[in-house]
Structure 1
Amino acid sequence: MDPLMPTQPLFREDAYAAENPATVLESSEAGVILDSSVFYPRAGGQPGDTGTVVWDGGEMAVADTVKGPDGSALHVPAPGATVPPAGTRVAARLDWNRRHRHMRMHTTLHLLCAAMPGIYATGNQIGAEKSRLDFDLPEPPTKEWVTERLNELIAGDHPIGERWITEAELDANPGLVRTLSVQPPRGAGQIRLVRIGAEDAPVDLQPCGGTHVRRTGEIGRVEVTKMESKGKQNRRIHIVLVEEDK
């Protein structure tokens, strides 16, 4: 078998694309690899996307998306789901509400780094219902202070953009990396930077491969529900989205 071509990561070109046409490159009970996909494969603390893969006469529920071989995205079928054969033309459809909550949460965690400059994250987990960030932080502020500061940054409605730098440029500016547990992926020669705020005076700027909202105002209100100790200096901060009454 010829080596698989990597899946074109459409989520990186447009994080708001919820569906795309694609061709099945490989199919098995382990999962389906498409030539292009809007599905984000689990990485960097952000969960893999869920949704459906639909074709003429069939539909496969996607229970998870993980990294496959050679940079591909493996769409993992739900138990008992029928998988489409290789060569099938399909439509890949996200569970958009879940993905959008991940985007709001992910951007909030970047703002949390901005709220406490000079502090390095030691771990993170993004979820649709709640998220957490661990910090190397001997004397943390109160959860009320962090909640207020986060909502101030969100209310600023700062634009969010990206640019790419070389690995050598990152090596020359190591302070851009705000995490001790997850390092930017290397080997491709370029590193993606996600910027919150103006280019000439960013609120936050750090390497990231995940998906984000377009502006901080899109996040809505958040709340720090708990801060706990996970070691001598390691502090865990739990965050939820505060949904407004409709």
Structure 2
Amino acid sequence: MPTELAYRDDAYAREIGARVVSAAAEGIVLDRTVFYARAGGQPGDAGVLRWAGGEMAVGEAIKGPDDTVLHVPVAGASLPPEGAEVTAVLDWERRYRFMRLHTTMHLLCSLIPGAGVTGGQIAVEKARLDFDLPEPPTKESLTEKLNALVAANHPVTDNWITDAELDANPGMVRTLSVQPPRGSGRIRLVRIGGDGAPVDLQPCGGTHVRATGEIGRVEVSKIENKGKANRRVTLVLAGE
């Protein structure tokens, strides 16, 4: 039975009531969760599961078999009993940083059109994207343009399309190393900006802020040469 992903409907939900489907050292499966499972360069969420008479710290959420989410306990944690009703509570400060950084990565993509993304990773302190790009813009110009997009407070929304619709618009896929998941019959698109001429529009399963103004000031801290035509751009949330 797949885990219901409540964050898909509301990325700002910080906790949820759920039932324990199974409990093992490799992870707790709930019937529903607000925890994002590690994927696409975004780390899995951390937090805590609470139930009558106990609680368990979650080190990270990862993907489990059959479209489930495994809430991995920290070492030595007590596990909830199967069938127990729990409250799953996010480490919200950590998740919200991921949301801000992930949305910034989409903005960065919009500033380097036509270049394929060969890799990416989000951490608490920073995020980075690798581009198939011989000559990147300067970090100063990218920083200035990113902050202009942040200040414009563009809305961030999502919708679903079919596999066939994506096949008809292959340019929406920027990532060369990771392709959008297929098989369910639909693919989630994340849009920044209005319907007419969005700032960015691409498939993505991650969590994002509702508007770019929430990101705050950002900075391109460095641009590195990682190969003949591979440039790594590192982003940080400035002043934090």
TM-score (norm 2): 0.99
Residue of structure 2 in register with 1:138 after alignment? 134
- Aligned partner of residue 66 in structure 1, secondary structure: strand
Q: Please state how far the C-alpha of 1:181 moved relative to its aligned partner.
A: 1.0
- Aligned partner of residue 198 in structure 1, secondary structure: coil
Residue of structure 2 in register with 1:85 after alignment? 81
Residue of structure 1 in register with 2:27 after alignment? 31
CA distance in 1, matches of 2:79, 2:125: 29
For residues 223-243 of structure 1, the C-alpha deviation after alignment (integer angstroms, 9 at most, x for no partner) is 111110110000001110013
Alignment of 1:231-242 (within 5 A): 231-242=227-238
User: Amino acid of the residue matched to residue 62 of structure 2?
Assistant: V
- Runs (4 or more) in structure 1 with deviation over 4 Å come to none
CA distance in 1, matches of 2:30, 2:239: 35
CA distance in 2, matches of 1:25, 1:147: 46
Alignment of 1:82-161 (within 5 A): 82-161=78-157
34-43 or 141-150, larger mean C-alpha shift: 141-150
Which residue of 214, 218, 221 maps to 2:217?
221
Alignment of 1:202-213 (within 5 A): 202-213=198-209
Residue of structure 2 in register with 1:181 after alignment? 177
Identical amino acids, percent of aligned pairs: 65
Unpaired segments ≥5 residues, structure 2: none
User: Amino acid of the residue matched to residue 44 of structure 1?
Assistant: G
CA distance in 1, matches of 2:239, 2:28: 35
TM-score (norm 1): 0.96
For residues 181-208 of structure 1, the C-alpha deviation after alignment (integer angstroms, 9 at most, x for no partner) is 1110000010100000001110000000
For residues 117-175 of structure 1, the C-alpha deviation after alignment (integer angstroms, 9 at most, x for no partner) is 11111100011211100000101111111111111111110001011110001011100
Unpaired segments ≥5 residues, structure 1: none
CA distance in 1, matches of 2:227, 2:44: 29
Work out whether 1:64 is the aligned partner of 2:60. Answer: yes
- Aligned partner of residue 40 in structure 1, secondary structure: coil
User: Amino acid of the residue matched to residue 179 of structure 2?
Assistant: Q
Residue of structure 2 in register with 1:15 after alignment? 11
- Aligned partner of residue 168 in structure 1, secondary structure: helix
RMSD, aligned CA: 0.7
- Aligned partner of residue 193 in structure 2, secondary structure: strand
